[in-house]
Amino acid sequence: MSAVFDVGEREFMEKVIERSREVPVVVDFWAEWCGPCRQLGPALEKAANARAGKVELAKVDVDQNQSLAQSFGIRGIPAVKAFRDGRVAAEFTGAIPPPEVERFFDKLVPSEADELSASTDEESLRRALELEPHHPGASVALARILMQRGEFDEALALVEPLHADFSAIGLTARIKLEQIDKAPEAAFDAWDEGDYEAALERLQEALQTADEKEERDLVRQVMVAIFTELGPQSELASRHRRRLAAVLN
């Protein structure tokens, strides 16, 4: 498929919504009579073509697709909406300078560090961190490898500074529990094996038997990390979140 294409109401679901689950799709809502649209269009097309294979640009003529424009609340054009995983991930209205268009596209396209962090290879993860120190995905993935080898200090140094990432916070808590010999190993083994139900059940038990406030808080942080992995729609996470709240209150 070309990086730039026209799209109408009938194929919007397939070419934009479903396609955005594979690569980001930027949608340009425009019209032939719109002067700012003619200014912005070439910059959008240039940005999309420069990132061919990593992002696509769908052009919607609002005169020909009024229902589609209305459904997305388009009140002024040009209007640009970027779709990722079936949802609007970023947007702007009006003509913006080409450098801003480039920055808009850059935020949608995975960086080299993003791509490297998806690997399970230690060398790739270390390279990702050379490119972007404190990259959350690479830091957590590498810390897991180091933790499995018992290299707790280096693993902790990677994730402890990431205060806004629940996965990093949970892994930090897990490492600290290991260091103070308070680790619920059965729970951690189940977590590593992807058995979230068993992991959370064992963590609930660990929470009940924890002697100190610090230990209880570390167990709680590990549970929150697992809730994050399960996602906001998980019934298992919701059930254990309620149990956690009842214990803490």
CA distance 228 to 235: 12
Q: Report the 10 Å Cβ neighbour count for 154.
A: 12
- Burial annotation 130-147 (CB, 10 A radius, 16+ → b, else e): eebeebbbbbbbbbbebb
Q: Report the 10 Å Cβ neighbour count for 203.
A: 23
| The one-letter amino acid at 173 | A
* Catalytic member of 23, 25, 26, 37: 37
Beta pairing, strands 25-30 & 56-61: parallel
Catalytic (active site) residue 37:
yes
Map 117-155 to HEC letters.
HCCCCHHHHHHHHHHCCCCHHHHHHHHHHHHHCCCHHHH
* Catalytic member of 3, 4, 27, 34: 34
Whether residue 40 contacts residue 95, with contact meaning beta carbons closer than 8 Å, is answered with yes
Q: Length of the chain in residues, anyone?
A: 249
CA distance 141 to 204: 25
CA distance 170 to 150: 17
Catalytic (active site) residue 83:
no
CA distance 107 to 83: 12
CA distance 164 to 176: 18
Q: The tokens of 193 are what?
A: 């094996």
Residue 194: closest CA among 147, 230, 152: 230
* Enzyme catalytic residues: 34, 37
